[in-house]
A = this chain, B = another copy of it.
Amino acid sequence: MIDQGREDGKMTTSEQNRPIPRIPKGFKDTFADDVVARRTMIETIRGVYERYGFEPLETSAVEYVEVLGKFLPESDTPEGGIFAFDDDGEWNALRYDLTAPLARVVAQYGNQLPMPFRRYQVGPVWRREKPDPGRFREFIQFDIDTVGTASMAADAEVCAVVAESLEALGLQRGNYIIRVNNRKVLNGVLEAIGLSFVDPEVTKARHLAVFRAIDKLDRVGVDGVRELLGEGRRDPSGDFTAGAQLDTRQADLVLQFVQSGGHDRAVVCAQLAELVEKSRVGREGVQELQQIHELLEVMGFDSDRVAFDPSIVRGLEYYTGPVFEATLTFESADQEGRRRPFGSVAGGGRYDDLVQRFTGTLVPATGFSIGVDRLLTALKTRGGAETAAWQGPVVVTIMDPHRFPEYQRMVTDLRTAGVAAELYLGAGNMRRQLQYADKRKAPIAVIAGEDEFARNEVSLKDLRLGRELAQTIQNRQEWLERQPAQVAVAREDLVSKIREILARAASSA
């Protein structure tokens, strides 16, 4: 695959016309190991979701822009951030999340759907954002939602199902926490400090400023949030962020609220009730949290798995009640190499107004969305967690090209017996063939030359064992004499012997 080019070093016309083999910025290719790890992870989550009675849905990648609407999560430029294209005078776009398509489906199919409609969907979403290292424009979300019920049981349930999914993936309790807050309680606090709805637009903007300040707690700490609630904050780089312009008393109350999370949900509820006692909507929010708490108790989910944390805000404008976030608490190195908690891998909340956008009728809904690629990174970062990897096939090498049909027959025998196997189809010598087998992560290479054929035998090279032994045997001479990872077996025992080696490897893994 080396391009010889012209001898005079100049490009020919055809070279000039050649496209560069490259992928657009913010997109990536996923190779075997990651495909398998991701697929296995998705299967595990899917198993839990189905056990909870949720059914699959797959919507199209392309939607009308008006269907996606202005509800673009976690974006300050609500109309931007999508890949849109004109199609015969109508604007289409790649879906930005899986929630807007769900709302569209519920509005479109109406009572053809079972209601409540409990569905999960996993698939890519696309965001036209500035690509950063580790921040992609195409990524996979795994959503679970219940549409058509205002019952807090639905909210409790999606929290429980995500907690159970994380544990099914091998995360221990204490390594993750589902953190729950309620927008109504937040609004109650803002009412309590006098930021009420006189001019809805102005109020909304100030609310948003407060929410953003709270949302930065993890990053800037309590003092940072205090600055952001007040005049504003200058970060170490010198950049200034304008504040929410609260006075000291107001900021104190907000901070008291934000810090009232804790390990006992009932205690948090009691504290919050006191803080928002004068606000109707605030009391309603606390009552909802109380209901979620009681339902989680019945389901066996204590505060060590699902906790109440008033610092959880979530960026989405459309949340109307409970909001959730799944956080991984173990540390990993961030992009600057600092050790810090891994952070959020899933988020969600109740969005009672989203279907109403289409129909004018209230259809309450709640759901949780897992960032699949981010969670996969987390599981890999943690080491010990069970991410699956690609296992290559047995590679039958070709020592004597004239014997091709006999090699092919070995492959066929193995495949017929259910063993993944392939014939080397390249043009390399034995060394290249074994390198190839290694690159393919083959467990075993089958080798047969004149000697083997004469004795009606084949040699099996245990590549996995070979890789292990290569680390313990120091002496090259010893290696050559013992050839520890290679055995000769009768041709007729090819399949049974390979099965034996594979079984041994599987049980020791």
Contacts and interface: CB of A to CB of B under 8 A. Distances in A.
Given A300-B412, A405-B294, A440-B55, A21 B418 contact: no
Interface in A42-69: 50-64, 66-67, 69
B19 A357 contact: yes
Contacts of A419: 51
B423 A153 contact: yes
A248 interface: no
A333 interface: no
A203 interface: no
Interface residues of A, number: 107
Contacts of A58: 29-30, 35
Contact of A59 (B22, B29, B154, B412): B29
A108 B21 contact: yes
A140 to B, nearest CB: 10
A307 interface: no
A118 interface: yes
Given A3-B359, A32-B57, A21 B422 contact: no
B61 A124 contact: yes
A394 to B, nearest CB: 8
Given A51-B418, A55-B440, A392-B55, A21 B358 contact: yes
Q: Is the interface of A mostly helix, strand, loop or mixed?
A: mixed
B63 A24 contact: yes
A361 B4 contact: yes
A390 interface: yes
A242 interface: no
A53 B52 CA distance: 36
Contact of A298 (B2, B28, B51, B409): B409
A15 B358 CA distance: 8
A168 to B, nearest CB: 12
B359 A21 contact: yes
Contacts of A103: 21
Contact of A425 (B151, B405, B409): B151
A52 B422 contact: yes
B107 A21 contact: yes
B27 A62 contact: yes
B153 A1 contact: no
A53 B397 CA distance: 13
A181 interface: no
A360 B14 contact: yes
A298 B4 CA distance: 38
A83 interface: yes
A287 interface: no
Contacts of A146: 425
Contacts of A440: 53, 55, 114
A402 interface: no
Interface stretch (A85-93, A261-269, A276-284, A472-480): A85-93
A300 B84 CA distance: 50
A436 B359 contact: no
Interface in A125-164: 126, 128, 137-138, 146, 148-149, 151, 153-154, 157
Interface string A288-306: 0000001100111000000
Q: A-B pairs with the 3 shortest C-beta distances?
A: A53-B422, A53-B393, A21-B107
